[in-house]
Amino acid sequence: LSEQKERKPEDILRDFRASFFSMNRLASFPWTFLDNELQSNKSSEFISELLKQTCLHPLCGKFPPSVRFRRIFLSELIKRQEAAGCDPLDELYDALAEVVGVEETPHCHKSYFLPSGDAISLLENVAVISEGTTGLVTWEAALYLAEWALENPQVFTGRSVLELGSGVGLTGITVCRSCSPVRFVFSDCHAAVLEKLRENVRLNGLGCGKSPSVTVDQLDWTTAPEEQIRRIRPDTVIAADVVYDPEVAGSLADLLLKILKCSAAAEILICSTIRNLETYGGFKLRLEAAGLGHQVLTGPVSAVFPYDRLAPIELIKVFR
């Protein structure tokens, strides 16, 4: 709490903006600072600026977060102003009126701000599991790997990059927007995921003859032919949050071996949230059985995106 008091209001506003557009969870907001600001100043200036950075931000009109979340967020702001003895702003009620009664959809937009201030906006599903897959939302390891890429652009600059299990595309789009690869191949195998992935690539202005060269490929780890791997000839291979099932982990190990046979110099990076030690340990054993070694890449990365940092995340480099 002492750290929050020492931070400047503009820093807190950036935190609110980042959480509003990407997390869609009230618990992620620095409410203590807001309450202190209201109690000390009895002023609506901070709330007015907060609205400009969230519900009234141009990005909210173009890529709106969940309707339900916006209702809850605005109601919470009104409640906290009233608790502080402040009269809620008319703009708050106007913004709430726009979403009251609006039907919720199974998908919404989430936006993730880069250090440059530009945003990556993705169409994601509201539910964590939907259409028979978990690939329609952004997971923590994808955000961590994106942050790592921002600090290590040399791994991607001027290279051909293949991403396995791209999901909705956060990591790959971050690399394309910030790390200057020559070519980037997004890949997944689930039809619904590929459809949303193609939409998100388009939303973020990638492809269409622009640099880097971007494609979205269907790639089934169990049946991917060596011809397809040779055609891609990746210099760098990345994957995030793909080690979650023993059978999937085995198929991934076999595919990585196939990639290294076709492109011996490829640099392979796998980032995982360790939710089940047995499953994750089993993946490493499958790597060993396939004749592959791994090195854990340690060291902190700068926090760019808001997400749950309590779960253990590990980034490894895989090699023959």
- d(C-alpha 166, C-alpha 146), whole Å: 12
Report yes or no on 202 lying in a domain. Answer: yes
The tokens describing 76, both together, are 């919470």
Q: Do 98 and 135 belong to one domain?
A: no
Q: What angle in degrees, to the nearest 10, is found between the helix axes of 67-83 and 31-41?
A: 40
Q: Do 82 and 142 belong to one domain?
A: no
Report yes or no on 110 lying in a domain. Answer: no
The count of domains in the chain is 2
Q: Do 134 and 100 belong to one domain?
A: no
Residues (pLDDT < 50) of the chain are 1-5
pLDDT at site 206: 93
C-alpha of 319 from chain center: 26
Report yes or no on 220 lying in a domain. Answer: yes
- d(C-alpha 219, C-alpha 228), whole Å: 9
Q: Do 182 and 277 belong to one domain?
A: yes
- d(C-alpha 190, C-alpha 133), whole Å: 8
CATH number, position 228: 3.40.50.150
pLDDT at site 134: 57
Report yes or no on 97 lying in a domain. Answer: yes
Report yes or no on 48 lying in a domain. Answer: yes
DSSP calls for 71-115: HHHHHHHHHHHHHTTPPPPHHHHHHHHHHTTPPP-SEEEEEEE-T
Note whether 253 and 290 are within 8 A (CB). yes
Q: Do 77 and 139 belong to one domain?
A: no
C-alpha of 103 from chain center: 26
Q: Note down the domain range covering 173.
A: 130-319
Q: Do 142 and 291 belong to one domain?
A: yes
Report yes or no on 111 lying in a domain. Answer: no
The tokens describing 69, both together, are 């979340």
Q: Do 192 and 77 belong to one domain?
A: no
Q: Do 33 and 96 belong to one domain?
A: yes
pLDDT at site 2: 38
Q: Do 24 and 158 belong to one domain?
A: no
Report yes or no on 3 lying in a domain. Answer: no
pLDDT at site 6: 64
Report the C-alpha dihedral over residues 70, 108, 204, 138, rounded to 10 degrees.
Answer: 100
Per residue in 141-173, pLDDT (tens digit) is 999 999 999 999 999 999 999 999 999 999 999
Report yes or no on 122 lying in a domain. Answer: no
pLDDT at site 171: 98
Q: Do 20 and 157 belong to one domain?
A: no
Q: Do 45 and 86 belong to one domain?
A: yes
Q: Do 144 and 284 belong to one domain?
A: yes
